[in-house]
Chain A
Amino acid sequence: MTTFEAILLTIVTASTPLLIAALGELVTERSGVLNLGVEGMMVMGAACSFAAAVTFDSTLLGVAAGMLAGALMAALFALLVLGFAANQTGSGLALTILGLGLSGLIGAPFVGARRDPIAPVDIPVLSDIPIVGRLFFEQDLFVYASIVLTVLVGLYLMRTRSGLTLRSIGENHTSANALGLPVWRVRFWAILFGGACAGLAGAYLALVYTRFWSPGMTAGRGWIALALVVFAAWRPGWVLVGAYIFGAATVLQLHAQAAQFGVPSQVLSAVPYLATIVALLLLSIRHGRAIGAPGSLGVPFVPDR
């Protein structure tokens, strides 16, 4: 395997958790709810999946535990913002802080443990094609699943009745309520989906990317996922593109550090995060209001009954 091939493979591995978490958040935001707790749900997913995987020696159970942890965190968030119509920004930030703390507690006994790598899916013949062969046809299951998920989310939002209902509720919850659409129910499931995706992304980080647990290991990836949704103007296809751009930035800066360009390594590690800020800035400069933003995003829903 050449260095070039290796770099491409690590880019895929770095991009996949961003893609999964951002897709979940995209669905949540399309329903009109802004959940800033992605980082917290993701790190909980990482801790719980690693704990379960080591305890039961099962990757499958680990993944299930990660998704469940993310979904439970999201359910707590749903209780606050739907049940009590709490401020979504504050609740989301609280969720992130809670997740970072709680995951440290859950993961503490597992610091130092290691998991074996997951065997990639090897598609015979095709994976032997030089350079692109391994890139496209010998990835782990999660990578393929994340691509399929992108397509499914796109089809769901734009092609199904239930997706239309979700978009309508995100666009204008007052109108949706007046028409009798189930605003709370749809938002609850959208929030839960977002949480499960963030949990899955965390599980991927702990079980595939690093294969160990350390506190705060998500290292801001939840925030990048949030920025990706804005960057992509709330469209799944662009989330895919954006995730791979950010994934590439993360990996390339590591190689740039190794190559010693004379730039301080701290500056290079900041590149993906700077790119996030620049993406957000460009978007707001170009359009005044972020295009594609759901009309009711972040606004608590209180019907008059």
Chain B
Amino acid sequence: MKADVPPSGTPLVELKGISKRYGDLLANNGIDLSIEPGEIQALLGENGAGKSTLVKILYGVIEPSAGVIRWQGRPVTIGSPVEARALGLGMVFQHFSLFDELSVAENIAVALSSEWSLSKVREKLGEISRTYGLALDADRAVWTLSAGERQRIEIVRCLLQNPRLLILDEPTSVLTPQEAEHLFTTLDRLSAEGCSILYISHKLEEVRRLCRRATILRAGRVVATIDPRASSAREIAALMVGSAVGEIRTDAPHHPQGEMLRVSNLSMPPAGLHGQALRDISLVARAGEIVGIAGVAGNGQSELFAALSGERLPDRAESVVINGKPSGTLGIDPRRRLGAAFVPEERLGHAAAPSHSLSENTLISHAATEVSRSGFILMNAARRVARSIVQSFDVRTPEGDPQARKLSGGNLQKFVIGREIIRRPKLLIVDQPTWGVDAGAARLIRQALVDLAREGSAVVVVSQDLDELFEVADRMAVIHQGTLSPLKPIGEWTKEAVGLEMLGVAQAQGGVHAV
């Protein structure tokens, strides 16, 4: 990975006045950014701050509306990813740019120029894997691999092209803490060899661990360039959000009471071709507490959610007991009538119908208990419910009663969570409550979950965001390959212990589970 050293003092890449306009929205507004050779620089910002737009411009995926890019002092136009790669840019995408049905070697070969035959890729793959400790099996199909392994494919794919600049977009969002640490070691090593790295993230801890310089974006503009080690997390967060971020109030004392949910020895076969089976899952959620379920994506979270919500029914009624009633064989609406409410992970298409208005979308869950009578919809009631959700949960809508898809991710998420909370459920089960949501909305949602629990409901939060669970959960368990670890009070967990459970190492070692 040797980089030719450009004339001293010349940045490897320099962006000047980069703007990108989508209709009325300025996604990037006159952005200046420079990266030195061998530097690891962070690009920080909220969702929607314009980070992804900027790196897509740099990687030639989208065209800027205005601005200049200089590569080693020379102005360049990067018209396509092929040209970007020819210059020496490599990119590891946030949502991987991989092909599930193809093998690892095929996935790598397809991105490289045609002189890379499959056999040459295999050979080089072995070499790179050994040098950087990035183990990969060339002939495995990608869909069989974990997120960490998938990311390795992307990284190896970049490294094979001897990049001078490696761009990583939210690389740790899908990794366990241990996998993330492994990634950091690799990045440090690449940097030492002279490869520059642009590291995009909204996780401050990582940025402080890796980078000496961070450029902070907000609403499409550069608001500051700082040394993340010299600033506190709170200061950086304030720069990203534009105002001080409040903490979640969890202070009210709580005394968990009756069992609202009891899951006992729940096992289910996988639903689809690439699904995960659930194995012997047991857990209890009591009124007044938040139970967190941590885990890396694809370890059975969506299967567990489906079994709890009644989208897939287990064989035994006793395996899911809601509010004292065996409900395993009940569908979704009967469970709602027992006082349960559900918020699935996918907000557009699962939690909400994209082309229906917000008031029509209240029917999805409220039809079980209200807003419909003898099969007819009470449209006025539905509108009233929608209005009160919009008001109570600060949902910013473009017009009166817009289609669900017109809302931004954060606002739609506030709406679907609000829609369930406003029913005052005795049990709320929510999958990834703040996935891809800006900090302001995330805070509001977490606060609403905490408030609901403090008012005497049981809340189950399935999340891949460990920080979130440590913030809101009273007790937590980790799901790994469809098996749930014991449920322990949050104070008894450390991040390391969670990481081991995520990898399934704890079970293998045994004895770690002293409850």
Contacts and interface: CB of A to CB of B under 8 A. Distances in A.
Interface of A: 161, 164-165, 167-168, 171-172, 174-181, 287-289, 291-292, 295, 304-305
B82 A180 contact: yes
B110 A178 contact: no
Interface in B238-281: 271-273
B493 interface: no
22 contacts: A161-B109, A161-B117, A164-B110, A167-B99, A167-B101, A168-B102, A168-B110, A171-B102, A172-B99, A172-B100, A176-B97, A176-B110, A179-B81, A179-B111, A180-B60, A180-B80, A180-B82, A180-B84, A288-B271, A291-B273, A292-B101, A295-B99
Given A172-B97, A180-B85, 19 more contacts: A164-B106, A167-B99, A168-B110, A171-B99, A172-B100, A174-B97, A178-B61, A178-B81, A178-B93, A178-B97, A179-B110, A179-B111, A180-B82, A180-B83, A287-B273, A288-B272, A295-B99, A304-B62, A305-B63
A250 B3 CA distance: 66
B97 A175 contact: yes
Contacts of B100: 171-172, 295
Contacts of A288: 271-273
Contacts of A174: 97
Interface of B: 60-63, 80-85, 93, 96-102, 106, 109-111, 114, 117, 271-273
Contacts of B93: 175, 178
Nearest to B109: A164
Query: For chain B, what secondary structure do more than half of its interface residues adopt (helix, strand, loop), or is it mixed?
Result: loop
B106 A179 contact: no
Contacts of B102: 164, 167-168, 171
B96 A175 contact: yes
Nearest to A296: B99
A172 to B, nearest CB: 5
A305 B83 CA distance: 16
B61 A175 contact: no
B80 to A, nearest CB: 5
A301 to B, nearest CB: 14
A175 B99 contact: yes
A289 B272 contact: yes
Contacts of A179: 81, 97, 110-111
A176 B106 CA distance: 13
Nearest to B84: A180
A289 B97 contact: no
A176 B96 CA distance: 11
Given A178-B93, A289-B272, A165 B110 contact: yes
Closest 7 CB pairs of A and B: A180-B81, A175-B97, A180-B82, A171-B99, A178-B97, A179-B111, A168-B110
Contacts of A176: 97, 99, 110
B114 A161 contact: yes
Contacts of B272: 288-289
Given A167-B102, A171-B100, A175-B99, A181 B110 contact: yes
A166 B102 CA distance: 12
A168 B98 CA distance: 9
B507 to A, nearest CB: 30
Contact of B61 (A171, A177, A291, A292): A177
Contacts of A175: 93, 96-99
A286 B80 CA distance: 42
Given A161-B114, A180-B82, A288-B272, A171 B63 contact: no
B468 to A, nearest CB: 28
Nearest to A178: B97
A161 B121 CA distance: 12
A156 B110 CA distance: 15
B62 A289 contact: no
Contacts of A287: 273
A158 to B, nearest CB: 10
Nearest to B157: A179
Contacts of B63: 305
Question: Which of A164, A168, A176, A291 gathers the greatest number of chain B CB atoms within 10 Å?
Answer: A168
Nearest to B114: A161
Nearest to B142: A171
Contacts of B106: 164, 168
Nearest to B59: A178
A43 to B, nearest CB: 34
Nearest to B275: A288
Contacts of B84: 180
A164 to B, nearest CB: 5
Contacts of B117: 161
A80 B61 CA distance: 24
Contacts of A180: 60, 80-85
A168 B96 CA distance: 14
A174 B98 CA distance: 10
Contacts of A181: 110
A175 B110 CA distance: 11
B151 to A, nearest CB: 14
A56 B251 CA distance: 92
A172 B95 CA distance: 12
